[in-house]
Structure 1
Amino acid sequence: MGCTRVELGVQSIFDDVLIKNNRGHLVKKTIAATKLLKDAGFKINYHMMPGLLGSSVSKDFKMFQELFANPDFQPDMLKIYPTVVTKDSELYGIWKKGGYKPLTNKQFEKLIIKIKNEAIVPYVRIQRLIRDVPLSSIEAGPTVSNLRQIIEKETTCQCIRCREIKGEYKLNEPMILDRIDYDASGGKEIFLQFISSPPPRGGDVRRTEGVKQKLYSLLRLRITNNPHSNHSSVNLNHSGRSQAIIREIHTYGKLTDITKRDKKSPQHIGLGKKLILEAEHIAREEFGLKKIAVISGVGVRNYYRKNGYRLKDTYMVKTL
């Protein structure tokens, strides 16, 4: 119980494309919603739709680059669904008259490979790559259903899903704590992760070209700049203008009973607690904050209580 993630049907960040496809909103609404949700501690999953009417392969690629170059966006997760033509849609009539040319399977495959290799950063998770639309319902557009498997050998994607440990953990496997800082929606995001090897020196610290690290555990810490505005529903009542909120903690690997240890899983070996302590240290020592909050589902509140947090409204809060 308890909502900690919101999925937004963004589809495109270009106003001309949004207008042509009758989305009913412009990109400024996406930007405002993203800030509102992040300042309240929510994780954000963008639904993006390449191949829309008025777009192109090159424009779609630039869109994904912009998602992680522009602080107004920076989603935590992505679902990428290509545009398809179905018989009961307005797009069907436009397509039949020659006014719309959908992506082919090959175009979509090449686009996704380019996106995964050149645009994706380590702090985003690609949740899905294609929607389950029955083949019989698709009149035109990409029909491939196992895209992830098809392109796996052609990508060096560093997204969370491509790096998470799954069942490959070995007992006492060496790992390091890595940190990525980036600006997002008027605040500072600090992405902490336990990984198997350090990122390469030089270049863009957000990309780790050619190194397929294993990801064991992660934490998202947000430092907001306007806790008393209408854009924030967390108020920690301290004197500074900034506030700290942990938006996500996740340890990957084989699901393990909380009362047990499994030598093939990194769960329950204290990674989450170490990440929390590091986040608290950053909030206190680097930003001078006296309190920190966590957005938490009801079922895991006791975990935070054991780490010194107490319920305040709908958040778990700790005095630093």
Structure 2
Amino acid sequence: MPDQTPDPIRQLERFTTDDLVSAPLHPAQVRRLGDRRRTRRHAALVAASVVAVLAAVTPVALLGRPKAGEAPAPAVTTSARPSPAPSPPTVITYPGPGLQVTNAADAHKLTGTSAAFRSFIAGQAVKAATDGTSCPDAAHGITVQKYSAAGYALGAVNACGGYVALWVETGGTWQEGMGTQDVWNCTTLDYLAVPRDFAGDCAAEAGSFGPNGTGTLQLGMSKAEVVAAGERVGSVYAGTACAAMSGPRPSAASNGIDGLVHRTFGLVQINAHPDDITPERISLGSTYAEAKAAYPALHREGDSWVVPLRGHAQYRMEFSGLGPQDTVTLLILDSTKAACW
């Protein structure tokens, strides 16, 4: 009895329509076409899955561009992991009165400090010993009490007498920023960028810079007297009647010299160092408002601000700007008898 079940392959072979005429396919070709369709369908599903995963991790800001006339979608930002706070600079405090350095070889005991600082202190110890030759029975040398890797240190200097010193590193070079037998001057600490909690107590100190000189230097001194006071006087500048004065004080003024010596009128200019303070408590780092309050006669002359003093002297200042809180960047004690430029 013949099988009455219709063979689908044979039906496909006999398939015709009024509008479509197809050449019959061999059954093996039909099976291969089915396999290809299943393969393509499987690949399409895999591709769709990949697209879905990429869409899930793509930032919202990149999913589409705004159409013309539309406001751009707000950018999506992600919270960055905060950077760790910088470690505070290493501070070394030596026990007791501090670590004594009486000669260059002793500087190696300053463990934990930089090589530049050890070299500087070695030089200061040699200088203290040299300065103390006239008083051999006195203590000579340097005592380092505190050091910071940020570039400042403090201690004591002893030769024929002594004082407390604050040393600072500027441009890779160590120098004495301030010396005192009293408390620190607050304005000078700020000018040198030394934290007050490192240096200790400070006050608004009155100094002796002016009105006619400072320390062993007085306006009008001859070149020989200036040299006898421990300063060096260079060659006369071409086209002028003045030579530069530079001295043993290690904290050089901002323009690199300590003053000017005129061939006829002698010492006509003394430049303030960071630890030079006027009797009215004005120094490098003081504000314009403080200078104007201390010297009501302060007025502009050319590029400088001038304060007339008694006799043939004046203060000359320059400021970081023209606002009341802008600070003194140059402080000079001048003789009005001669101008060098």
User: Which of the five TM-score ranges fits, normalised by the shorter chain?
Assistant: under 0.3
TM-score, scaled relative to structure 2: 0.24
TM-score, scaled relative to structure 1: 0.25
- Which of these two proteins has the greater Rg computed from alpha carbons? 2
Higher relative contact order (CA 8 A, sep 6+): 1
